[in-house]
Amino acid sequence: MDTILLIILVLLIPATYLLFNLRAGKKQTERSNRIKWKHK
């Protein structure tokens, strides 16, 4: 059980890293009702 979880974790971490580095799709970024965060 622990070994299976460890294998899943080892696969999840690089997959998350790669996915995080991709820009979000237009369906997300070009919405009119998007929250306007203030970056200052």
Partner 1 sequence: MNSKQALQTFGRSGNPMFSSKTFSETVIEGQIEQMTLQGTVNKVGISLLLVLLTASFTWNQYFLYGASAITGYLWGGMIVGFIFAMITIFKKTWAGVTAPAYAIAKGFALGGISAMYEAQFGGITIQAVTLTFGTLFSLLFAYKTGIIKPDENFRLMLFAATFGIFITYIVNLIMGFFGASIGFIHSNGTFGILFSLAVVAIAALNLVLDFDYIEQGAEQRAPKYLEWYGAFSLMVTLIWLYLEILRLLSKIRSR
Q: How far is CA 33 from CA 27, 29, 30, 40, in A?
A: 11, 10, 9, 21
> Which residues here bind partner 1, judged by CB under 8 A?
1-2, 5-6, 8-9, 12-13, 15-17, 19-29, 31, 33-35, 37, 39-40
Q: How far is the CB of 30 from partner 1 (least distance, A)?
A: 10
Structure tokens that stand for 34 in this block: 């998007």
Between CA 24 and CA 7 the distance in angstroms is 27
Q: How far is the CB of 29 from partner 1 (least distance, A)?
A: 7
Q: How far is the CB of 7 from partner 1 (least distance, A)?
A: 10
